[in-house]
Each structure stands twice: as structure tokens, then as C-alpha cells.
Amino acid sequence: MTTLLSDTWFVAQRELIKFFRGKIRVVITLIQPVIWLGLMGNMMRGLTNNPMAAQAFGTGNYLTFMTPGIILMTVLFGGVFGGVSIVWDRRIGYLEKLLAAPIHRGAIPFGKTLAMMIQGAIQVIAIMVIATLMGVRFASGFGGILYILFLAMLFSGILSSLTLSLAASIKTMETLMAIVNLLTLPLMFTSNALFPTSVMPSWLAAIARINPVTYAVGPIRELTISGWHWDKILPGTLVVFGLVVVFMLGSQVVFGHATTE
Amino acid sequence: MSKAIEVKDLTKVYHGGVRAVNGISFDVEEGEIFGFLGPNGAGKSTTIKVLIGLLNPTAGDLHINGVDIRRHPAEIKRATGYAAQETAIDDRLTGQENITLQGHFYHLSRQEIQTRSAEVLNLFDLYSRRNDLTETYSGGMLKRLDIAEALIHRPRILFLDEPTLGLDVQTRQVIWGYIERLRRQQGMTIFLTTHYMEEADALCDRVAIIDHGEIKALDAPAALKAGLGGDLIRVQLAGLDGSAESVVAGIRTIPQVHEVESDGNGRYRIIVREDGEKVIPKLFSICNDVGVRIETVSLKTPTLDDVYLHFTGRQIREAEESQETHVRSRFARRRARR
């Protein structure tokens, strides 16, 4: 068990060293939320001036409504790189090197996922700082901010584990990226990340209600806009938690199977 | 000497049904440099991957340092080092970062990693470049780093899969020097695969010739070559005029000479058991004594190429430039450009 933990950490460490070394990547990570919040927030500001719409959004400030959506979008699009890094490692032979070492085999998918979760957390912190500077106030305070961070990391873990499982059987980067795009964009736009389900056409709202992104956005938005209402926070938390357990264990099984010949 | 590696009736059939290794048996002595020589797809890499636990054998008894590899895979991994055919170095990390991570993957302490990485980086003359990103390294440096990494946990047996594939001639010889030094200074057992004849000849104490998953011959390079019948000398004589018989009789008195054949036009093929170069001066003095002129003379020593041809019926060069090698080198070039 302790080897699993330490091995996981060293697999993750490799990714993190590279993440911080890519200075441009870190800068982009920070600029991205500014663009999203600044651009989208301003474009949509007119919406919440309408009192009816403001009621649907739950806040008179569209930025406050949108910040949870941007948080989720960031970890959704970022988490998928867990699978990409495995495809790359297989190509350069690094995966074989890891498998030849006496490390716990499960540490490979776990470590990749942990790295994605930490990178996601850094991005989410950046978004929250920038949102605060733009006037967004988190209703649930500092505790709520930590809770949001925790949920966002778990969601990143779901995406990373999912793409890691896909990468076990998909050996080319191009195919994997195509599948990832096919998956993430609809997931994003059929959720309540950018628009409340109450203003969606009924068919879209029906899809949104079973979309895991909606479940993750729910508690985050609740904590951002109104505060600690556990009846609204708990269901989404449980779904996210359940999914992360299922997908992480799934990645273990799929990865273990794919690397045994 | 005790056995470092014992392989008995190893067979490996992949899920797809490809029979990569077909019932091979061999032993490697401790402290020996043992080579697997054969073209791509002969089963060399598969054998290594089974021995270090990357692949499960379909059948066979396999022992490393007397330990059953199927029963104690973790112990085998700690006792062996492995440098794959593809140099698996993360080019976005420095040499030191690459080797430190490798140390952690072998569960060494921070202290051990520090002292040993300095030791192996020095051994491979990479210490001064340790803090540079490996994307700035040359192909030879990457290979050296890869082998250095395989030594971080002080294995007793080192497995090198095509250690000089794709390297230029000078770099290849430099790598050979390092490999020889490991054996000389540390008494390490080294198992390597290659499809370069010169490499097997220069490095290996014993060579197994492998083709289509089977061992066709196994012996010291010199013995394999001797098995072909020795050196061949061709001479063209002039001014024989009836003294041909006495010349041939004279040649036959040279102790190393095994056989003399003539085509009747003054051309002779002389098969010599050994030391062909010492026989040639004797030929000159014999011909001189009877007043016969030697117009041309040539000496051909058998190479492992000939041995390979003899045992497999084809030349290794045909198979060497396979699609796989081609694709891999193209990929390596693309990486180098980035």
C-alpha cells in the first residue's frame, strides 16, 4: 500500500515537473480563464439585466453564474490529457520502462490521474482568483472555495481515468483526440455549465439532467451563488464521488488487462 | 562458474497466435557477455521481455540466479537491469531528473539515488551534462543515459536489446567500450541482442544465432567461424610447366593446410584450418624453390556473416532493413527535429 502511494506520487511528479517547466503552458493556463470570464461574461451581461432571466440564473451577475461552469469546463478539457500522456509514453517506450521496474502497476494510471487532478486544482485556483478580482463573491466563503476545489479535482479524476482506459486500447494520438473531442464538447454543451436547465428546450433539459457535468456543476454553483444548502450540494457530490471511484477502479482493471501479455 | 540465466524449452505465443519463440534452451554463465544474433522478428526481444518479466512465457523453465522467474517476479526485476531497443528517455526532463525518477521506481532511498546516480553518470561520462534537458543530447548520449539508468539499482545481470541500433559507427564503438568496461570492472553478466555481426564478434563471449524463434547455433564467435572449415586462400600461379604436382605436394606439407583444389588453369583454392596469414609466406617460398611465379593471392577469413548464412541459409542484411526499423528511424528523426 505504501509502495502504491509512493509509486503513484513519483509517476505524478514526472508530469508535474514537465507541467511547470512549460512556462508558456502555465501562462496559457492562467490566461484562459481571463478570456472566458472576460469575453463570455461581458457578452452575456445583458442577459441578467432582465429580471426574469436573473431569476432563472439565480443571480443578477452572469459572471457569478458562469464561474462554476468555467471551472468545470477547465477540468473537463484538462483531465483528458491523462490518456494522451499514456499514448505518448507507449510511443517513446517509457511505458515499457515503467512496467519493467518493480513499481506497483496500478501506480501508473493513478499517478497520471493524480497529476491531472493537481494541474486541474492549480487552474481552478487561478479561475477563482481571477473571478474574485472581477467581482464574483463566493457565497459559502473560504470553506466553500475548498469544497469547490475538491469537487473539481474529483471531476478531473473522472475524465483522466476515462481517457486512460480508452488509451489502453487506442494506440494512436489522433484517434484518441478525436474520441475525446467527440466526448467532451457534447458533455459540455448538454449540461447546465453555461445556461440553466430552466431556459433550455425540454429535450435538452432532459439530457442535461442525466449529464454528469450537470451533477458536478450543481453543488459548485450552489456554493458560489447561495451558500451551504446541503440538500442541493449532497446529491451532486455523491454522484461525482461515485463516478470517480468507478472510473478510477475501471482504469485499473482496463490498464492491468492491456499491459499483460 | 554458476549460471546467471538458465532457459529451458522457452516458448512464447502471442495472443494473436504468432509463435515468436519456439522451444529454445540456453544457459548464460555469470560474468559472461552473451549475444543473441538474428534479424528483426527472430524472437530476440521477446526472449528478453520474457526473462525480465514484461511478458509471460507460454511454456518453459526459466531461472535467473537460480530463482524461478515466474515464482518471484519482483526479485527478478531487482536483480536485472533492462535497456530497451528504443531509448526511453523523457526529453522534457534533464538527465538527472530522468535517472532520479528511475531510482524512485526501483524504491531506492534519496541518499542512494544521489550517490549512485553520480556514480553511473560518471561511468558513462554524462555527469557534466546531467542538468541539461535530454532533448539537447545526441543519440549516443541518450543511449548511454538509458544504459546508466538501467544500472541505478546495481543489477547483477544487464539486458540490452539492440544497444547500438541506429547509431553511427564511432558511437557504436564507444558504447561497446562502456559495455566491456562494465564486465571488466564489475563482473556483470550481460545479455545483449544485435543484428550487427561486428557487434556480436567484438563483444560477445558466446553467441546464439536465432532465426524464426529457434536457436540455430550457439558457441564462441571464433568456434562458430572455425566450424565453417577455416580460412580460404586463392592463388593464381604462372610458369608451372610440369612442376604443378610438386607445388601441390609442397603446399600439402604445410601443417595448417586442410585441402587444395585446382581448376587446371593455375588457379588454386587452399582451405586452411587456421592462421591463413601465416601460410601465405610459406606458399611464396615453396613456389620460389621450384621457379613458379605467384601472380595473385587473396585470403578470406570467415565472418559471422558466413556463419549466419551457413546456419539460416540467408544473409542477415536482407532482413535487417525491415519496415519496422524504417518506421522507427523515421520516428526517431522526427523526435530529434522537435
How crowded is the C-beta side of A72, counted as CA atoms within 13 Å? 27
pLDDT in tens, A108-156: 999 999 999 999 999 999 999 999 988 899 999 999 999 999 999 999 9
Range of the domain at B244: 229-300
Bridge partners of A195, per DSSP, are none
Do both B118 and B256 map to the same domain?
Answer: no
Do both B157 and B184 map to the same domain?
Answer: yes
User: How many contacts, defined by CB atoms under 8 Å, are there between A and B?
Assistant: 65
Question: Is the whole model's pTM more than 0.90, yes or no?
Answer: no
Do both B272 and B153 map to the same domain?
Answer: no
Give the Cα separation of B181 and B243 in Å (integer).
55
For residues B161 and B2, the answer to whether their CB atoms sit within 8 Å is: no
Final residue of a structural domain among B191, B225, B259? B225
Å between B106 CA and nearest CA of chain A = 6
User: What letter would DSSP give residue A102?
Assistant: T
Distances (CA, A) of B319 to B41, B67, B97, B217, B304: 9, 35, 38, 18, 16
Which residue of B53, B104, B331 is in closest CB contact with A10?
A: B104
Please check whether residue B320 lies inside any domain of the structure. no
Give the Cα separation of B156 and A95 in Å (integer).
23
Q: What is the arithmetic mean of pLDDT over A29-42?
A: 80
CB atoms within 10 A of CB A203: 9
Please check whether residue B127 lies inside any domain of the structure. yes
Give the Cα separation of B187 and B116 in Å (integer).
18
For residues B20 and B14, the answer to whether their CB atoms sit within 8 Å is: yes
Give the Cα separation of B80 and B52 in Å (integer).
7
Please check whether residue B115 lies inside any domain of the structure. yes
Q: Is the CB of B109 inside 8 Å of chain A's CB atoms?
A: no
Do both B247 and B285 map to the same domain?
Answer: yes
Q: Is residue A40's pLDDT more than 90?
A: no
Do both B119 and B236 map to the same domain?
Answer: no
Closest by CA to A255, choosing from A107, A115, A120, is: A107
**What pLDDT score was predicted for residue A79?**
85
Looking at residue B268, which CATH number applies to its domain? 3.30.70.100
Give the Cα separation of A144 and A122 in Å (integer).
16
Do both B219 and B242 map to the same domain?
Answer: no
Please indicate whether, in this complex, the C-beta atoms of B107 and A92 are within 8 angstroms of each other: no
B237: left (phi over 0), alpha (psi -120 to 50) or beta: beta
**B-chain residue closest to A107, CA distance:** B105
Q: Which three cell numbers stand for residue A124?
A: 481552478
Q: Is the CB of B333 inside 8 Å of chain A's CB atoms?
A: no
Which value does ipTM take for this structure? Answer: 0.89
Please check whether residue B315 lies inside any domain of the structure. no
**What pLDDT score was predicted for residue A55?**
77
Buried-exposed string A230-255: b where 16+ CB fall within 10 A, e elsewhere:
eebbeebbebbeebbeebbeebbebb
Per-block average pLDDT, block size 10, for chain B (338 residues)? 90 92 96 92 93 94 94 92 93 96 96 96 95 95 95 95 90 92 93 91 94 93 84 87 84 87 84 85 89 89 83 61 51 50
Give the Cα separation of A48 and A59 in Å (integer).
8
Instruction: Work out how many domains chain B is built from and give that number.
Output: 2
Looking at residue B217, which CATH number applies to its domain? 3.40.50.300
**What pLDDT score was predicted for residue B40?**
82
Q: Pick from B56, B87, B107 the residue to mutate for testing the A interface (most A CBs within 10 Å).
A: B107
Do both B32 and B161 map to the same domain?
Answer: yes
Please check whether residue B313 lies inside any domain of the structure. no
**What pLDDT score was predicted for residue B23?**
94
User: What letter would DSSP give residue B158?
Assistant: E
Do both B63 and B150 map to the same domain?
Answer: yes
Please check whether residue B27 lies inside any domain of the structure. yes
- Greater confidence (A54 vs A167) lies with A167
Please check whether residue B17 lies inside any domain of the structure. yes
Final residue of a structural domain among B163, B194, B225? B225
Do both B179 and B36 map to the same domain?
Answer: yes
| Overall size of chain B counted in residues | 338
Give the Cα separation of B17 and B238 in Å (integer).
62
Do both B32 and B63 map to the same domain?
Answer: yes
What residues in A contact B74, CB-CB < 8 Å? 102
Give the Cα separation of A218 and A220 in Å (integer).
6
Strands laid side by side in the B257-262 sheet:
B257-262, B267-272, B231-238, B293-300
For residues B155 and B78, the answer to whether their CB atoms sit within 8 Å is: yes
Å between A14 CA and nearest CA of chain B = 8
| Overall size of chain A counted in residues | 261
A15: left (phi over 0), alpha (psi -120 to 50) or beta: alpha
Report, in angstroms and rounded to the nearest whole number, the Rg of chain B calculated over CA atoms.
25
Q: Which three cell numbers stand for residue A205?
A: 433539459
Q: Is the CB of B56 inside 8 Å of chain A's CB atoms?
A: yes
Give the Cα separation of B41 and B198 in Å (integer).
20
Do both B288 and B142 map to the same domain?
Answer: no
Strands laid side by side in the B67-68 sheet:
B19-29, B3-13, B59-64, B67-68
Q: Which three cell numbers stand for residue B13?
A: 505465443
What residues in A contact B14, CB-CB < 8 Å? 261
Please indicate whether, in this complex, the C-beta atoms of A101 and B102 are within 8 angstroms of each other: yes
Final residue of a structural domain among B225, B242, B260? B225
**Chain-wide mean pLDDT for chain A?**
90
Please indicate whether, in this complex, the C-beta atoms of A261 and B335 are within 8 angstroms of each other: no
Please check whether residue B329 lies inside any domain of the structure. no
Q: Pick from B13, B46, B105 the residue to mutate for testing the A interface (most A CBs within 10 Å).
A: B105
Do both B266 and B142 map to the same domain?
Answer: no
User: What letter would DSSP give residue B135?
Assistant: G
